[in-house]
Structure 1
Amino acid sequence: MNKKTIGLFYNLGFDTLFGYVKGFDHKNFTQDGDLIIFYDEENEFVGFNLLNASKKITSFLYNGINSDNVPLIAELGSVLKLKSGLWEQYNQEPQFLVGEINSCVHHPNSDKLSICQVNTGEKIEQIVCGAPNCDQDQKVVVATIAAIMPNLMKIVPSELRGEQSNGMLCSERELGIASDNLVKGLLILDQQQYHTGNSFWKEYYNEQN
């Protein structure tokens, strides 16, 4: 069975929680007060908007990505009231993991790409990366296959200049993280604070609190 994911994003300024399965691709919608649910042309669920979210949700809402927010995911099942068993299929595993780069070598067919072997906890994934600061032994954020980015791009297996790539190594900008000292290239994680294979967002927000 294909891994089912939904991107969950909270906008603090508008107090709105957005959920998208495959980008902004809907033909129909239903609205019940502050909850708008979107469907595709085959009447399949593709996303939702929840207005005044902080008044409807008891779980803590982080400003930005909430796709790995386990209490929120559990609570949304009763809020959305989708057909039985549908919501429970989504986000059973974290979309964003702490990974450790075991090796990083130049791509034989590109001057700007590197081929990385990345430990994501349970497996080693090959990921092609174009960041200039990519190097061996770094801890980084891995967007896994089927993860949904803030720009609604869904991560899929790909082939870059003849080399397989199974995931994406992320920058602060790609993760939507605001920083006074924005670094060009990958977000490099603290070796002690972050643990390989764990949910990045869980450890990131623990560090912020």
Structure 2
Amino acid sequence: MTTAWHCYDRRDMMVAALRDATVAKLRESLTKYGRAAWAVSGGSTPAPLFEAMSAVPLDWAHVDVALVDERWVGTDHPRSNEAFVRGCLKKNKAKDARIIGMKTPHEHAAEAAATVNARYALIPRAFDSVLLGLGPDGHTASLFPGAEGLEKAFDMKGKRTCAALKAIKSDVTGDEVERMSLTAPAIACAHHVALMITGEDKKKVLQEALSTKRDLPVARLAEVVDIDIYWAP
């Protein structure tokens, strides 16, 4: 598979370019099918993109915005990806977007896998665009190195859209080691996959993963998915 780098001198330039690429994919599906689907990640990096997307005049009432991954915490938790996305994106012109979260009342993520997959099965087609991030340990989505459930999530013959994982606790994971994540085959089915990163440190992590550290999850994903990398200092 291929990785294409899109590098910019400033973050606002990167955000504008990624906004335009994402909007093009969503509009294409809205025109053709009457609905569109966008899978998004949490974290601080995509916040400016969500702000920019919220100002775009799309038929947001017919856009499904689904989580790429989630910490197994409630939406009232400060590290909830769903709460973050709702706060940054679901406003202005995007106030009518349908947010599809992963968290359920189940105590553990593994208990909720069937429920979450049934929820995501209501999205009628493959994602028009998927927005990924990158951690300093080489994880993307919640596909963490050495995580329990990682191999199942990378099974390209698997039929599930989402999988429960339990990461090895680290400074990167924090206390929230139980996660729900899109699987590699679900990401591979998307029409457009963007990896949004900033800073020299993340760039170095990704370059090393794609060259010498091929066992890292982001490198493994790049072997089965075409990825457009958007980077700015």
The alignment's TM-score, normalised by the length of structure 1, stands at 0.30
Q: Relative contact order (alpha carbons < 8 A, sep ≥ 6): 1 or 2 greater? A: 2
More helix per residue: 2
Pair member with larger Rg: 1
